Every structure is written in C-alpha cells, then in structure tokens.
Amino acid sequence: MYKVLFATSEAYPLIKTGGLADVSGSLPVALQSLGHEVIILLPAYPEACQRTEKLKTLTTLSLPHGEVKLLEGYLPGTKVKVWLVDCSVYFNRPGNPYLGPDGDPWHDNADRFHLFAQVAIAIATSKANLNWQPDIVHCNDWQTGLIPALLHTESLSHEQKATTIFTIHNIAYQGLFPYSTFIALGLPEELWSSEALEFHDQVSFIKGGLVFADRVNTVSPNYAKEIQSPEYGYGLDGLLLHRSDRLSGILNGIDDTVWNPETDPYLKTNYDHKKLAGKKKNKAALQKEYKLPNEPNTLLVGLVGRLVHQKGIDLVINSLPELATLPVQFVALGTGEPAYEHALRDMARLFPKQISVNIGYDEALAHRIEAGADVFLMPSRFEPCGLNQLYSLRYGTVPIVRRVGGLADTVVDAAPETLKDKTASGIVFDNADGESLYAAVIRAKELYQDKKIWKQIQQTGMRGESSWKHSAQQYTQLYELAIKDCQK
C-alpha cells in the first residue's frame, strides 16, 4: 500500500468547474478504502478553505517566492486529508479557479501553478518538515504538469524520489505560455527543449507531465488510443505515441454517495431501478421548475455542461428548431462561450413551450435534470471520459451520445442485437453534425413509445457497474508498475 500525494486544481465539494473535481473528490476516497494513505494537495481558494473540515495550519514553507503556509483539514464527510497551499496573493480569489471575472484566464496562472508545483516538490523531496514523504505523486492535468518535470531536474537518488503518475483529463487544455514566462519563472534551462517543455516556441505545462511522469494515463481506454492520433491529440499525438508503452486508460467511476437516485437529497422523490414511478414525479417537477407544460408523455431531453466547442453545443443549437416541432421538450443548464449562451436563450424565446434554459452553474439543478429528463444529450466532439452520461445511466435517463472517447466505452447503442441480449443502455451516433443528432433523437423518441423496451434500456443502465472500486484497483496496479519502472 502506498502513500499518495494527489495533486489537483479542483476537488468536489471544495471547488468545482467540471469532472476533474468529481474525480479528485472521489478517487482518493476509493484509493484510501483500498488501504493507501492519500493526501489531496489543492490551492487554498477561499471556498476550499471554508468547506474543508477541521482546518488548521500544518507548516510554513520557505520557497524562492517567500513564505507559503500549508493548511491541513479533511475532505468533508471522509477521512481523506486535504493539504491546502495557502499563498493569498495567488489563491485568495473567489469564483472560478482559472478565470477572472472578465472570463479570461488569470494573468498570472503560470506563476500560480508553478508555485503549486514547488510546494508539491518540497513535500515529495522531504523538504517541508512534515515527516511524511509520498511514494507516489499523482498529478492531474496541465496545472500539475511542472511537478514531474521539476522533480526530474532534482539531483536525488531513486530512493529519495517519489514516483510520478500523470492523469490526462483533457488534452485540449495544455497550459501554454510564452517563452518570456519560461524565463520569468526561472525554470531550469535544460527544460527548454522540444524533448521537454518547449512546444512550438511556447512553454507547455502539460508536456511536463507527458514527458517526465513515470506513467501517464487518461480517463478511458478509448481516449488513450484516440489521443495518439492527429485528430484528437491536439499536437501532442506524436509524443503520446512515443510514450505509448507508458500510456494507458482507466475509466472514471462515480461517487455513489453523491450521485444515487435512491438517496439524492436534491430530488423531488427518490427512486431506484425497481421503482421507476418516482422518476415520473421528478419529470413533472422539472417541467414545472423550467416553466414548461406538464406533459408526461412528451420526451424530455436534458443537457448539463460546459457550453464549449468540445461538447458539440452548436450541433444541439442547430437541431433545436426541428426538434421543437417533433415535438420534444428540451431543458439545459450550463455556462460557457457567450455565443452559445445567447443562442440557447434565443431558442428558448422562440419555442417557449418546448425549450427552456438556465444559464448558470447549479449543482442541485444538475441532479434534478439527471433525474427528471427522459434522455440526456452528450453530442461531444471529443470526450476523455464524461461523467454526465454515467450519472444519466445511474438515474435511468437514457444517454444520447457520440461514439467518441469514454462515451463509446460506457454506453451501448440500442440496436436489434443489443436490445435482444439486453445490453443496450443508450443511443450512440457517429457523425458530429446536426442531422445525425436529430436522427438519434428520433430513434430515442421511437424507442420511448414502447414502454417495455424503454424500461429495459433504463434498467440496464441503472444496474451497470460504475463505482470507483474497479478503477481504484486499476490505479493501484498502475502505481505498482510505475514504482517497478523506477527501481529498474
């Protein structure tokens, strides 16, 4: 069993912008229940400080930047320790952890996550006066990419050095900054090379993880393959292909204590796969909340997510006028690119009886959509894993997804043979265009007319295994492999 420092820039329920937070708030708990000792390392954002249980100061570190405090507390409702990097000039900012109030990235993101990496390195190399040194430093996404790179440049023996894992949650976000930032941060000169952090004359934080971590993984087996191709690799496919013997995919799980229709406190009525009648009450409540007519038999389509190109929101917007005339009802919750926000609002104005949108971030409403909608739309252009389709499956809300990334790994298309052998759990379509999306919704609408078949699809999804247990075991194996690599 290992001591694991789990470095991440968000963790539910302390701070969340997307699925990374869900994973960082639940994988460490699952790892700990397998016997590992896991400590989450997170920036001390104000919300995170408020929500961390039993918070106290652990130690003060002297870094080139000055003194930085490390606070210790617990992830709410768990025995997993959280260490918060308290540097108020960088992290004491409310709201989105990466973006300022104008919606643009904070001007000093490189400094912020460089400092975060320095703290991780002080801990990993026993320079933090803590009497605790991790065997594994588990890094997540570009914000933690400098950790493996800087650890690599430390002159330490194998015994003194922690083993590093880098998990890619999204290769499209790379942490790219100009060369002047590389100089300003004072990064070791040896890292300025195309075999290290340099990427087309810029410094790439994510490359620090991809090049230097002992093992790299991503959040579904299919996405692990996809990112080794130019279509999905965002310019890093060559490097990933080169490291393919160290690259794998491990599917995300879901936190059953947070996403479970039997116990979910946000729902009108709780239900399970045997008592699906409760779902109908949630549908009626959702129609009311979204000010849509109470129509029990009209297919209610739900969408929750970041309104960005990745998620195929433009495909949805383009097909909405036709979908509205079918008719189906459509409810959405999300924030993101202003053009998509405006277009969705316009659609709601044009079709007030069929379309209703909420532009915002609302955790409780996201749960009510998962419970109240009949189908859930995820027409993503790419999707490393995707958690919303897993929540939909769990809530008996049939997912309509594109055949990409983790969506392809987790949803089984309702075709004659899968309906016959009872493995069908959703609707899967191939092309990223409005017609294919429209055709997929039509298919859902047809299946929805046959109550028996529909119930079978719902129950197949609800009974499926999506807990963290299996995936946490796979992470344990990954840690073992990485440690063996380092001992060679």
Question: Closest residue (Cβ) to ligand GLC?
Answer: 19
For residue 387, CA distances in Å to 18, 142, 419 come to: 9, 20, 24
Q: Position 408: which residue type? A: A
202-204: strand order across its sheet:
176-178, 202-204, 198-199
d(CA 349, CA 365): 21
Distance of CA 408 to the CA centre of its chain: 16
Task: Give 264 or 383: the residue with its C-beta nearer to ligand GLC.
Answer: 383
Q: Which does 68 bind (CB under 5 to 8 A by kind): ligand ADP, ligand GLC, none?
A: none
Q: Which does 306 bind (CB under 5 to 8 A by kind): ligand GLC, ligand ADP, none?
A: ligand ADP
Q: Which does 219 bind (CB under 5 to 8 A by kind): ligand ADP, ligand GLC, none?
A: ligand GLC
Q: Which residues pair with 70 in a beta bridge?
A: 59, 85
Q: Does 313 bind ligand GLC (CB under 6 A)?
A: no
Shortest CB 311 distance to ligand ADP, Å: 7
Q: Which residues bind ligand ADP (CB under 6 A)?
A: 18-20, 22, 304-306, 333-335, 361-363, 366, 386-388
Q: Does 321 bind ligand GLC (CB under 6 A)?
A: no
User: Encoding tokens for residue 28?
Assistant: 């460490």
Q: Which does 401 bind (CB under 5 to 8 A by kind): ligand ADP, ligand GLC, none?
A: none
Shortest CB 246 distance to ligand GLC, Å: 19
SS (H, E, C) 391-416: HHHHCCCEEEEECCHHHHHHCCECCH
Q: Which does 361 bind (CB under 5 to 8 A by kind): ligand ADP, ligand GLC, none?
A: ligand ADP
Residue pointed to by tokens 């801990």: 123
Q: Does 240 bind ligand GLC (CB under 6 A)?
A: no
For residue 321, CA distances in Å to 191, 286, 326 come to: 52, 21, 9
d(CA 241, CA 93): 39
Main-chain dihedrals φ then ψ at residue 432, nearest 5 degrees: -85, 70
- String of contacts with ligand GLC for each residue 354-393, x by CB under 6 A: -----------------------------xxxxx------
Given the rule CB under 6 A, which of 17-25, 158-166, 179-187, 364-372 is the region that contacts ligand GLC? 17-25
Q: Give the residues lining the site for ligand GLC (CB under 6 A).
A: 18-20, 23, 169-170, 219, 252, 383-387, 406
